[in-house]
Amino acid sequence: MGHDWDGYISILEAARMNDHCRIHCANHRCDHAGRLEFAPLIYRHGPHIGLGTILRKLRCARCGSLGAFPIMEPGTKTTPANPIYCAIHTDRPHPCDRDGACKDGCRLDDRHMSGDKRTR
């Protein structure tokens, strides 16, 4: 049975939720799962590559099957999410700055987008 790997979001969109996701082997007889870190993928392929393109090429370390299914882990109170990119959708994606601009619930204004260091 074939899978529609192209229907998934981009690495950029996934990295706006968290810095990783859980993946499960596409072989329904295998119960192997792991953690897929987004930072190395962004470094190697750029943020605009589709997550489906990556998932299609993953090979299970246990059974050797190709393909994996993602489960996003948005975070909880005990283990908060650690997004790589800010969740605000703009023309220019920018790193999430939890200690600075995003400290007040991820609200940016034009001064932060342009790189102006003045306070609000």
Q: Which of 60, 66, 67, 70 is nearest to 36 (CA)?
A: 70
Q: Which of 38, 72, 34 is nearest to 54 (CA)?
A: 38
**Mean pLDDT computed over every residue of the chain:** 80
The reported pLDDT for the residue numbered 93 is 75
pTM higher than 0.85 for the full model?
Answer: no
What are the pLDDT digits (tens) for 82-111? 888 887 766 677 777 666 655 555 544 444
The reported pLDDT for the residue numbered 30 is 95
Mean pLDDT for the stretch of residues 52-69: 94
Distance (Å, whole) CA 87 – CA 71: 18
Q: Where are the domains of the chain?
A: 5-76, 86-120
Specify whether the CB–CB gap between 104 and 66 falls below 8 A. no
Confidence category of residue 7, pLDDT binned at 50, 70, 90: confident
Residue 120 exposed, middle or buried by CB count within 10 Å (0-12, 13-18, 19+): exposed
